Amino acid sequence: MKHLIDILDLSPQEIMELVNKACDIIEHPAAYAHKCDGKILATLFFEPSTRTRLSFESAMLSLGGQVLGFSSANSSSAAKGESVADTIRTVSCYSDIIAMRHPKEGAPLVASMHSLVPVINAGDGGHNHPTQTLTDLLTIHKEKGRFDHLTVGFCGDLKFGRTVHSLVGAMSRYEGIKFVLVSPEELKLPRYVKEESIKKRGIPYEQSVSLEAVMPELDILYMTRVQRERFFNEEDYLRLKDSYILTPDKLQNAKEDLRILHPLPRVNEISVTVDNDPRACYFKQVQYGKYIRMALILKLLGMD
């Protein structure tokens, strides 16, 4: 039985198959409307989420399946002190596939070790969020037509941003990639991500504190939010939260075919005046997220 805990659980070939399947779903949604008739997705969200949970639920409903679950730890037996293993042993008796978000890092891996059905990691603390990475990859492929020979800029919180770490890991496997890392000193990409994803593969990269300085070379700009929930210290959060704000001025020197991505939710790191720029595709990204989750559900249920 296959689970999805880390984006690197999927080979580049499997990712391409998922992307192709998602594109086919976009083209022919009616052909997939009853693929999961009679199947149940359990969404176990031990911490709040709007986008990811609704995206999973919408994906399963669009495949003809049904959903059950909870949206906070308080409304589950975790509040009574039940272990992840016991919760999963129970829920996997009621469902065919599970999407799980948990504040503790590694909880979905523990779940996969005890589940009778496939488990999808829907985010574990600051660690992994593989379906966001699949969403990002589908967006890049739809918008640029390829995964290789791209200069990909990451801006904002590169230290705690799990989506950044996963996307760096996933994009590192393609040829001709260059990374540009833009962040304040305190939120730089962790050394281990640089060592194990970038340097080990000999991928060129540069670090910058100025977004404007590197803007002209970017094919993709991946903006991130400085996340309050990842800080133990409120003072540090307040000091760093407005480090980078993307405005139309900063885009003046950008390529015409730049694509701006953001995992959302946005606070203020992208000015709303950028939303109508044709290079902004963070709301399209949300739509793609549903389709790639549909493709993933089909794959893990063996119905692709």
Partner 1 sequence: MIIDSIQNGIVIDHITAGKAMELYRILGLDKLDCTVAILKNVASSKLGRKDIIKIDREMDLDWDLIGYVDPTITVNCIRNGQLVEKRTLKLPERITGVLTCKNPRCITSVEQELPQEFVLTDPARRVYRCRYCETQSK
Q: Which residues bind partner 1 (CB under 8 A)?
A: 83-85, 102-107, 109-110, 124-127, 192, 195-196
Residue 141: how many other CB atoms lie within 10 Å:
18
Per-residue buried b or exposed e for 29-50, using 16+ beta carbons within 10 Å of the residue's own CB: eeebeebbeebbbbbbbbeebe
Q: Are 222 and 136 in contact (CB under 8 A)?
A: yes
Supply φ then ψ for residue 114, to 5 degrees.
-120, 0
Using alpha carbons, select from 95, 18, 15, 83 the residue that is nearest to residue 46. 83
Question: Would you say 39 or 102 has its CB closer to partner 1?
Answer: 102
Q: Integer distance in angstroms from the first to the last C-alpha of the chain?
A: 15
Question: Would you say 193 or 298 has its CB closer to partner 1?
Answer: 193
Q: Are 299 and 21 in contact (CB under 8 A)?
A: yes
Would you mind telling me the total number of residues written for the chain in this entry? 304
Question: Would you say 38 or 202 has its CB closer to partner 1?
Answer: 202
Q: Are 225 and 157 in contact (CB under 8 A)?
A: yes
| 197 Ramachandran zone, left/alpha/beta (phi>0; psi -120 to 50) | alpha
Q: Are 19 and 292 in contact (CB under 8 A)?
A: yes
Question: Would you say 41 or 111 has its CB closer to partner 1?
Answer: 111
Residue labelled with tokens 């990451």: 154
Question: Would you say 84 or 120 has its CB closer to partner 1?
Answer: 84
Min separation Cβ 190 and partner 1, Å: 9
Give the whole-angstrom CA distance, residue 185 versus residue 177: 24
Give the whole-angstrom CA distance, residue 64 versus residue 86: 29
Question: Would you say 58 or 76 has its CB closer to partner 1?
Answer: 76
Question: Would you say 119 or 215 has its CB closer to partner 1?
Answer: 119
Q: Which residues are annotated as catalytic?
A: 51-52, 80, 101, 129
Using alpha carbons, select from 166, 221, 174, 216 the residue that is nearest to residue 190. 166
Q: Are 265 and 227 in contact (CB under 8 A)?
A: no
Min separation Cβ 233 and partner 1, Å: 13
Min separation Cβ 67 and partner 1, Å: 25
Min separation Cβ 231 and partner 1, Å: 12
